[in-house]
Amino acid sequence: MIAYLTAGQSSRSDPTLNVVNLNTKVSRIIGKVPTANVNIELAWSPDSKRIAFNGENIHVMNIYDGTVEEIKTNLVDGSIWHLDWSPDGKQFVFAGGTGGNHEFYLVENFLPE
């Protein structure tokens, strides 16, 4: 499957996260997202059950029911770039910046017990 964002067809429609199955060619909406623009990056979880995307924090959407969990990064006036999962799905890694400084971050212990 390939995940992609749509910005909405009219001023009344919300941006959405979608997936298309390459075997069946069927596309479906997974859920609504806060925004859809060129700076939003998508990252599949290693088990292919969730998709993470950046914003002010990290958002994780379940592809089966569209629920979204927000992972706080505690960055103040920061940006998140190049978001990805660790191979075991227990950590996020991303580049980012605050106040003109570029740094490398690792976020762990965000999953429920």
* Domain count within the chain: 1
Residues 6+ apart with CB under 8 A from 72: 57
User: What is the C-alpha to C-alpha distance for residues 98 and 88, in angstroms, rounded to an integer?
Assistant: 28
Do the beta carbons of residue 93 and residue 106 sit within 8 Å? yes
- Count CB neighbours of 51 within 10 A: 23
In a domain, 113, yes or no: no
Q: Which domain holds residue 78?
A: 2-108
Instruction: Read off the pLDDT of residues 4-50 as tens digits, 9 standing for 90 and up.
Output: 999 866 656 789 999 999 999 999 999 999 888 878 999 999 999 99
Instruction: Read off the pLDDT of residues 62-104 as tens digits, 9 standing for 90 and up.
Output: 999 999 999 888 777 778 888 999 999 888 888 877 666 666 6
Q: What does the CA dihedral 100, 106, 45, 7 come to, rounded to 10 degrees? A: -20
In a domain, 12, yes or no: yes
